[in-house]
Amino acid sequence: MMSKEILCMKDIVKVYQMGDEEQAILKGIDLKVCKGEFISILGPSGSGKSTMMNIIGCLDMPTSGEYILSNRIIADLGETELAQIRSKEIGFIFQSFQLLPRLTAIQNVELSLIYSGVPAVERRKKAQKMLERVGLEEKVNHYPNQLSGGQQQRVAIARALATDPTILLADEPTGALDQKTGQQVMELFRELHEEGRTIIMITHDVNIAKKASRLVKILDGNLLEEVVEDD
């Protein structure tokens, strides 16, 4: 079923200068992700998972190693091309939702399409469709403060889906939610995976990580493959 490789990281190292000292955050990461995979990257605070997410999302560059996304070597691209990848090819989902408080649910979803240059009428239709997909057709004109945490995260997922990205990149997507709401969001991720979406999820929660079809652990900047056992 899954064969087309869309992401490949080879010997990725990330070093930060801390005063007079250098600190290696990632220490030779190798990772391949194929189209249609649902992979979780599990690690405690300080393990390097946020740094890895930033590199996957083209928000940061590695110190050394090679990152290939959709057959393009990321280090060879200019800022304009990187910005296009961030706005069109990667759908970001954050722990804190990052919705604009003065915009309604549908306007928040439309925002990602404005950046992609989609015309207004098409934008509205697409945003409506995405909110229906995440079960929020009744809440399109609600503002974030009129929505529960779970509903806000669904708006954020709809916004990420709107550009039909190559990868959904979720950073602690249940971190700000209670357990029951978190499970509902994970059920939505499972459905999206079954529809063929490629999902990379960063988390510190073992139970959430096991909801993915593949699990890798990051610890002290090193990556270890884990077996996901069915519930």
How confident is the model at residue 2, as a pLDDT? 44
Tens of pLDDT, residue by residue over 111-144, are: 989 877 889 999 999 999 999 999 999 999 999 9
Please, what are the domains in the chain? 37-61+79-226 (3.40.50.300)
Using alpha carbons, select from 190, 194, 218 the residue that is nearest to residue 2.
194
The pLDDT of residue 226 is 74
pTM: 0.92
Q: What is the pLDDT of residue 229?
A: 63
Closest by CA to 167, choosing from 30, 45, 31, 64, is 31
What does residue 66 show for φ and ψ, rounded to 5 degrees? -125, 135
Could you tell me which of 223, 216, 202, 204 has the C-alpha nearest to residue 43? 204
Spatial contact of 154 and 110, defined as CB atoms under 8 Å apart:
no
- List of residues 6+ apart from 58 with CB closer than 8 A: 69, 74, 82, 85, 86, 90
Q: Which two tokens stand for residue 20?
A: 């007079």
The pLDDT value recorded for residue 110 is: 95
Low-confidence ranges of the chain (pLDDT < 70): 1-3, 227-231
For 2, list phi and psi in degrees, rounded to 5. Answer: -100, 125
C-alpha 63: how far from chain center: 22
**Scanning the structure block, which residue is given the tokens 């890798």?**
216
Provide the sign of the torsion angle of the four alpha carbons 98, 157, 169, 91, taken in this order: negative
Q: Taking the CA atoms of the chain, what radius of gyration do you get in angstroms?
A: 18
